A and B are shown apart, each in its own frame.
Chain A
Amino acid sequence: MTVAEYVTDNPVKIGTGAILVGVLVVAAAGLDLPGAELLTVGTLQRSLQAATPIALAAIGGLFAEKSGVFNIGLEGFMIFGALTAAAVSWFIAGDTSVSQADLWVGVLAAMVVCGILTYIFALLTIRYKADQIVVGLAVWFIGLGFGPFTATVIWGGVSSPTLPNINSVTVPVLAEVPVLGRLIFDASPLVLFTLAVAIVAWVVLYRTRYGYWVQAAGENPEALDTAGVDVNRVRYATVVFSGVMAGLGGAVLSIGIGSGFTGTGATMVDGRGWIAIVAYLFGNYNPIGAFLASLLFGAMDMLQIQLQTVGISLPGSITGLFPYVAVLVVLTLVGYTRVPAAVGEPYETEDD
């Protein structure tokens, strides 16, 4: 999909984006906000960090939905990812003296565990034809219950003790480049990895044969079946991929950029899995679009700190709601775009 095609295909979405930006500009001018202070490299950097977990889950989720399975359990898988990453790195280290290597093992473990869990989700929805939405909700409830439960068993409380997080990588010389240097060459490796995932996912989805299969599995499974490709196999693969990405997103939250697992309230994932779903809808199932939408939500997340820095005091309980309100605005203005035709329908091959 070229840029020109995208523009002609999505007038509503681009219009919405323009209106949103316009409203923000007018609001900023009306409130006499110092725009230059709000939009600093630091803001962008923090927004990018806040966007990373959302973007990872979003890119995974969009592959699953493109192939015909609506993985509405992203939120739950993120909770399991966040918990597993913290628990495994803590266990390896033996106590809170967790090293960088331990953290990376934790990240890998979160991806593996969530991959296995989503395989069960895939079995239930694809093989046993369970309602995708209900099973997805169940995954969320199980995460909300067993997440804090497991934390209590391990640490004696619903949250983990404070853990270190993964160090930023500073590329010498390149880090000196203005703006881009700080954004990309002096950042968490997970932020860089997410950028890479977005680009690779775009290439795979739109420029490879496999990406074509994924799209066909969601649009026209019969045709793909006739062409001799096992539809359900493609679906299993994308669903497991979505779980691995959500697990990684959760790991980023707990030990990638955060400092341990928090199990209070709606846990530390706190709706980001749901926001991820909206991010890829807003990005029209395009991995790059999903990434940019995640950045928008990440920025909303960071708005509170930013408003405080420039001396506007809104209570945190209100600014904390911005991402959720943004989701509502985006969903209402953009609607459910064009869902792949066969989403939600289990596919049964004719020649058994």
Chain B
Amino acid sequence: MLDATVFERFAIALLSTTLALLIGSVIVAATGYDAVAFVSSLVYGAVGNLSNVAFTLRQSTMLILTGVAVAVAFRAGVFNIGVQGQFVVGGFATALTIIFLAPVLPGGAGGGVLLMILGTLIAIAVGGAYATLPGLMKAYADANEVITTIMLNFIASGVVYFLIDAYLRPAGTSAPNTESFPSYIGLPGFVFGSGSFSVIGLGVALLTAVGVYVVMARTRFGYDLVTSGYQQRAADYSGVNSNRTIITTMTFSGMVAGLAGAIFAIMILGYYSDPSTFPTFGFDAIAVSLLAANNPLGVIPAGILFGALDAGGQYIGFTLDVPAELVDGVIGLIVLFVAAPELFRMSARRVGLGGDDE
């Protein structure tokens, strides 16, 4: 995968997605549904009208942010499967900040902006701290980060649910939801006039992707991070402390995930709820990052594509009787195909395309 050229990567991403969607359609047809309606609804749900586009971009915003979080770690050779958990605790930190500080700070637009900035900063710190845990465990105890981060996802979800259910639920309500944020908290919709999508959120996501790209490509920190991912020994020789790199990588990745949590709480929810009901942005982000060859800039188109898939999939769930879970399965298939570039190379060689046998 690493020695693939940009063109090859692009081709692999394209082929993987096409193949996965094709298999998805075959499954739709095989289970007795209308495959043509499936595909056309997918497209309509993603970009069919202005509000569908807004929904696509809203999902893309989240997937770009979480995708960048995943990409940071993968680039450095660390598997952060815990973006979902870091995103959950980050958003929870934002919600706590807003709920507890709103009564003591002045209201109105000024107070709102201050609260949102504070909440976001705290989310970044908390997301980073939560990701530091598996980093420490990997660096000093050699604990496999794939497993520790997955366990921490379960724990984050359970603990946040417990805290909301036991302490933050307004009296007399049965749903495990916190109270709603004050009305002056939220990002303005601008062009789309959608209550849960704002161009500002998307802007933050794009800026983050570019910012992280610059850090990775242009700074000493980023250089150390990438070399220790690809050339462990070279990094060791040049005096990079690999334990410290693992920890800072995880923290950096978790900070981005925390930011995603803040945007989710402020832009989309406007309150906080049982995390097990949240969309699994942190997992889908793994597919986004792989499709982008773990490049923070590549995450932008990959995130938009997946946002469209997600929006189209949900639209299908509402309008056709094809279960929306199908799209999750298709995303899994994309990951599978992206992981096996040899599959494409070998089959390409067999049919006589791209004959260079390196």
Contact = CB atoms under 8 A, between A and B. Distances in A.
A128 B325 contact: no
B325 A152 contact: yes
Interface in A139-166: 139-146, 148-149, 152-153, 158
Contact of B141 (A72, A281, A321, A333): A333
A246 B336 CA distance: 19
B330 A128 contact: no
17 contacts: A124-B336, A124-B339, A129-B340, A137-B81, A137-B146, A139-B332, A148-B323, A149-B328, A158-B325, A271-B151, A274-B147, A277-B147, A317-B158, A324-B158, A331-B141, A331-B143, A333-B141
A335 B325 contact: no
A135 B339 contact: yes
A3 interface: no
B306 interface: no
Contact of A153 (B31, B148, B276, B333): B31
Contacts of B81: 137
Contacts, number: 143
A336 interface: yes
A321 B158 contact: yes
A145 B340 contact: no
Contacts of A317: 158, 161-162, 165
Interface residues of B, number: 47
A135 B340 contact: yes
Contact of A141 (B79, B151, B161, B283): B283
B88 interface: no
B150 A274 contact: yes
A146 B332 contact: yes
B343 interface: yes
A336 B340 contact: no
B340 A130 contact: yes
Interface in B296-344: 323, 325-333, 335-336, 338-343
A18 interface: no
A145 B330 contact: yes
Nearest to B163: A317
B155 interface: yes
B143 A335 contact: yes
B184 interface: no
A129 B343 CA distance: 9
Contacts of B230: none
A145 B329 contact: yes
Q: Which 5 A-B pairs rank lowest in CB-CB distance, beginning with the nearest?
A: A145-B329, A145-B328, A141-B332, A142-B332, A130-B340
Given A130-B342, A138-B339, 5 more contacts: A124-B343, A139-B332, A317-B162, A328-B151, A336-B142
Interface string A170-203: 0000000000000000000000000000000000
B47 to A, nearest CB: 23
Give the size range of A's interface with the partner.
35 or more
Interface of A: 72, 124, 128-131, 133-135, 137-146, 148-149, 152-153, 158, 265-266, 270-271, 274, 277-278, 281, 315, 317-318, 320-321, 324-325, 327-328, 331-333, 335-336
B98 interface: no
B159 to A, nearest CB: 7
A271 B338 CA distance: 24
Given A142-B336, A324-B154, A332 B147 contact: no
A141 B335 contact: yes
A130 B343 contact: yes
B148 A328 contact: yes
A315 B159 CA distance: 11
B68 interface: no
Contact of B323 (A124, A141, A153, A266): A153
B152 A142 contact: no
A145 B335 CA distance: 13
B246 interface: no
A271 B147 CA distance: 10
B137 interface: yes
B294 to A, nearest CB: 11
A331 B339 contact: no
A347 to B, nearest CB: 14
B4 interface: no
A141 B287 contact: yes
Query: Considering residues B142, B165, B276, which has the most beta carbons from chain A within 10 angstroms of its beta carbon?
Result: B142
B1 interface: yes
B346 interface: yes
Contacts of B165: 315, 317
A245 to B, nearest CB: 19
Interface in B270-293: 276, 283, 286-287, 290
A324 B332 contact: no
A124 B342 CA distance: 9
A266 B155 CA distance: 13
A248 B137 CA distance: 32
Nearest to B154: A324
B243 interface: no
Query: Considering residues B79, B152, B340, which has the most beta carbons from chain A within 10 angstroms of its beta carbon?
Result: B340
Contacts of B155: 321, 324-325, 328
Contacts of A271: 150-151, 154
A144 B283 CA distance: 11
B154 A321 contact: yes
B166 interface: yes
Contacts of B231: none
Contacts of A146: 325-326, 328-329, 332
Contacts of B340: 124, 128-130, 135
Contacts of B18: none
A138 B291 CA distance: 13
Given A141-B335, A149-B325, A321-B155, A332 B143 contact: yes
A141 B147 contact: no
B40 interface: no
Nearest to B338: A134
Interface string B208-234: 000000000000000000000000000
